[in-house]
Structure 1
Amino acid sequence: MSHSFEFKFTGNIHVQSMDRQAGIFIGERNSAVGWSAHGKANNVIGGISGKSNLLYENVLILNDPDLIDTPIDDRDIHMSFENQVEEKTANLTFESVNVNTMQQNSLVSIGEGHVTGMDANEKINEPQGSIYGNGNISLGNYNVNNDQDVLDAIIDDRDIKIANVKKAE
């Protein structure tokens, strides 16, 4: 079996912001098996991107007194199989890749990609949230997040993840 693949990438990769479980795969064959990202984040304000953002006189209060906080059970089973590639020809030409914002479980894949098993379970307490862009203004806000749970963000993510990856001879 013959496999011909021509890949040309002559420019730049520009990424402004990536969140958890995000990826950029560029190439002839990209394989990602069994991605996992689990967690809990308490963020007051969160992320701010861009230029000239103004946060003025904000009062941010986050109170999260849980008795049990984010128990995670992530017993994954990962299986990856390689198969022979059938006869084919592929040509890819790119000058540049621009990514402004990639959120959780985001993917940019250029080329022959085999991405399986992505999962990202998460609990976030984020008064204010994320601010993206240019020239955003947030004035005189009062943000309160009071999360009075006894059990918080129970994540039971036991997966069987099977990947079928093509292999060139």
Structure 2
Amino acid sequence: MPHSFEFKFTGNIHVHSMDRQAGIFIGERNSAVGWSAHGKANNVIGGISGKSNLLYENVLILNDPDLIDTPIDDRDIHMSIENEGKEKTSNFTVESVIVNSMQQNSLVSVGEGHVTGMDANEKSNEPHGSIYGNGNISLGNYNINNDQDVLDAIMEDQDIKIANVNKVE
């Protein structure tokens, strides 16, 4: 069936920071089925954003000698079914999109969106972590992370992800 769509984007897209499993969808039809993000991250300092950040006298030690580290079993089944419907008309205007920070499993969707199956498993060692903003100061740091697990972050994520999108008739 006919589908009429009028979309006006008059401004800008400003994104400061996006983390794992994050997305910005702008448009007539946005479909995301079966997203997956799995992993293990060892960050001694992590991410630093902004202006004029100062880290002073840092001693950062990360020791992660696992025997078995982050086994991931992710056997997903992804299906997307869309049922056509009657004629549909959509009109909208967006001046701008401003995103300051998107963390894990974050989404900005402008338009007709069908998002399913977002999936994120993570094990992270960050002795210092992330710093966001302007003019942050971190003085006299001493960070130690010692992760002595025999088995670490076992992830068994066996999903069946079905997206059935029914159009209005």
Q: Is the 8 A contact 1:31 1:165 kept in 2?
A: no
The aligned counterpart of 2:7 is: 7
Matched, 1:88 2:98: no
The aligned counterpart of 1:65 is: 65
The aligned counterpart of 1:55 is: 55
C-alpha distance in 2, partners of 1:95/1:149? 50
Q: Is the 8 A contact 2:37 2:120 kept in 1?
A: yes
> Which 10-residue stretch deviates more, 5-14 or 87-96?
87-96
Higher strand share: 1
Question: Cα RMSD (Å) of the superposition?
Answer: 1.4
Cα-to-partner distance string for 1:5-61 (whole Å, 9 max, x where unaligned): 211101111111100000000001100110000000000010000000000101111
Aligned-partner residue type, residue 28 of structure 1: E
Q: Provide the TM-score with structure 1 as the length reference.
A: 0.95
Aligned-partner residue type, residue 51 of structure 1: K
Aligned to 2:40, the other structure's residue is in SS state: strand
Q: What pairs with 1:98-113 in structure 2 (closer than 5 Å)?
A: 98-113=98-113
C-alpha distance in 2, partners of 1:81/1:91? 25
Matched, 1:32 2:39: no
C-alpha distance in 2, partners of 1:60/1:85? 58
Superposition deviation, residue 165 in structure 1: 3.4
Cα-to-partner distance string for 1:95-115 (whole Å, 9 max, x where unaligned): 110111100000000000001
Percentage identity across aligned positions?
A: 88
Q: Unaligned regions of 5+ residues in structure 1, if any?
A: none
C-alpha distance in 2, partners of 1:19/1:43? 14
C-alpha distance in 2, partners of 1:86/1:77? 30
Q: Unaligned regions of 5+ residues in structure 2, if any?
A: none
Q: Is the 8 A contact 2:86 2:167 kept in 1?
A: no
Superposition deviation, residue 2 in structure 1: 4.5
Aligned length in residues: 168
